[in-house]
Amino acid sequence: MKLTLSVIKADVGGYVGHSESHPDILAEAGHCLAKYTKSGMLIDYHITKCGDDVQLIMTHQLGVDCEKIHRLAWDTFVSCTEVAKKLKLYGAGQDLLSDAFSGNVKGLGPGVAEMEFEEREAEPIVIFMADKTSSGSWNMPLYKMFADPFNTIGLVIAPPMHNGFSFEVHDVKEHKKITFNTPEEIYDLLVFIGAPARYTIKSIYHKDTKEIAAVSSTQKLSLIAGRYVGKDDPVCVVRCQGKFPAVGEVLEPFAAPILVEGWMRGSHMGPLMPVSVKDSTPSRFDGPPRVIALGFQLANGKLVGPRDMFDDKAFNLARHQANEMADMMRRHGPFEPHRLPLDEMEYTTMPEVMKKLGKRFKKIE
């Protein structure tokens, strides 16, 4: 059965501040998607949240970039925004950058990760969702899952994975894309994806069968809006087992927290902490950035699950380390590398300060 899995997310209002989604918003999203399931447009859905972002996880047979699906997601976010406005939640409707829907939510604010595939005999998937970070944050974890034998032993000892995977990388500033084959081109690939603010992994394919293995959202809110309107807070879908990495290989990169951009005011580096859905409540200094992982088995498009994959003691040490890294970064206060370099900060007072002080700068002889 050919199935489409669409994950579409938006921040339509935070509770309290940017720390969490209000239960009434999630309930409203549930009412909307139940209606579309009844009408037969969706096979199944699951609503969740990661911090202040509402996540619509949907299965259907209408393919990727389907106008009907994008419209229903948009309409759902508009209804949720109404609820957010009534409750006067913080930043109500902040990710809906346009007043009108025009065929596809890409470019209008919400983040989108969609894939179409033939549902296998058993189809385990893991959906990663992050808050207080940007779309390139999946680069290192995806590289580890699909190209690093120190993370994924299947690349070495599992015959269906031994030939490797292809990575489609997007240049988000120039709107260009390129595909790299691994393992043979890993050094070339790393030249680009090591700069995640500019180059992000959009999708990964099995090199022999060309089947889709993973897809991420690459929407960059600041580039869409031309100003700071909140962080991208990206999502990523990964198919697991068999010719793809095992569930444990897919989760393994998050056992060693890395530094990502997006903490406080979208202008700081901080550790990406793997947490349960319940604990995706960025609070300290509006963070630190969080990632959740929901696992499902698909059964003829039905989402069997979720299992809250990071709700596991095996990630306690990663959380502890992330807290220590957070302390280490906070120690730098307004200094780099905690604060992002000037041209990457989402907020800045530099133009005004320069205007005020410009004349006081004298040439150094």
* Count of C-beta atoms within a 10 Å radius of residue 365: 3
Which of 186-194, 260-268, 316-324, 333-341 is the region at the interface with ligand F6R (rule: CB under 6 A)? 260-268
Binding-residue pattern over the window 131 to 150 for ligand F6R, x denoting contact by CB under 6 A:
-x------------------
Please say which residue, 42 or 50, places its beta carbon nearer to Mg ion: 50
Contact pick of 264, 277, 293, 298 for ligand F6R (by CB under 6 A): 264
What sign for the dihedral angle of Cα 29, 31, 32, 38? positive
Residues in 48-87 at the binding interface with Mg ion, rule: CB under 5 A: 51-53
Residue nearest to ligand F6R (CB): 286
CB of 152 to Mg ion, least distance (A): 29
Residues with catalytic roles: 11, 228, 231
Answer whether 132's CB lies under 8 Å from 228's CB: no
Please say which residue, 177 or 284, places its beta carbon nearer to ligand F6R: 284
Answer whether 189's CB lies under 8 Å from 143's CB: yes
Answer whether 215's CB lies under 8 Å from 115's CB: yes
Alpha-carbon gap, residue 291 to 243, rounded angstroms? 25
Please say which residue, 128 or 143, places its beta carbon nearer to Mg ion: 128
**Binding residues for ligand F6R, total number by CB under 6 A:** 9
Contact of residue 13 among Mg ion, ligand F6R, none (CB under 5-8 Å per partner type) = none
DSSP 189-218: HHHHHTSTTTEEEEEEEETTT--EEEEE--
Contact pick of 1, 2, 16, 17 for ligand F6R (by CB under 6 A): 17
Interface with ligand F6R, residue 338, by CB under 6 A: no
Contact pick of 233, 252, 286, 346 for Mg ion (by CB under 5 A): 233
Residues in 266-305 at the binding interface with ligand F6R, rule: CB under 6 A: 266, 286
Answer whether 293's CB lies under 8 Å from 55's CB: no
- Tokens 């969740």 identify what position? 48
Alpha-carbon gap, residue 365 to 170, rounded angstroms? 45
CB of 132 to ligand F6R, least distance (A): 5
**Side chain identity at residue 292, one-letter code:** I
| CB burial of residue 152 (10 Å; 0-12, 13-18, 19+) | buried
Residues in 186-245 at the binding interface with ligand F6R, rule: CB under 6 A: 230-231
Interface with Mg ion, residue 14, by CB under 5 A: yes
Which of 39-47, 161-169, 262-270, 336-344 is the region at the interface with ligand F6R (rule: CB under 6 A)? 262-270
Strands (E), 51-110: 53-60
Please say which residue, 45 or 263, places its beta carbon nearer to ligand F6R: 263
DSSP 148-186: -TTT-THHHH-GGGTT-EEEEEEETTTTEEEEEETTTTH
Site residues, Mg ion (CB under 5 A)? 11, 14, 18, 51-53, 91, 131, 233
Residues that bind ligand F6R (CB under 6 A): 17-18, 132, 230-231, 264-266, 286
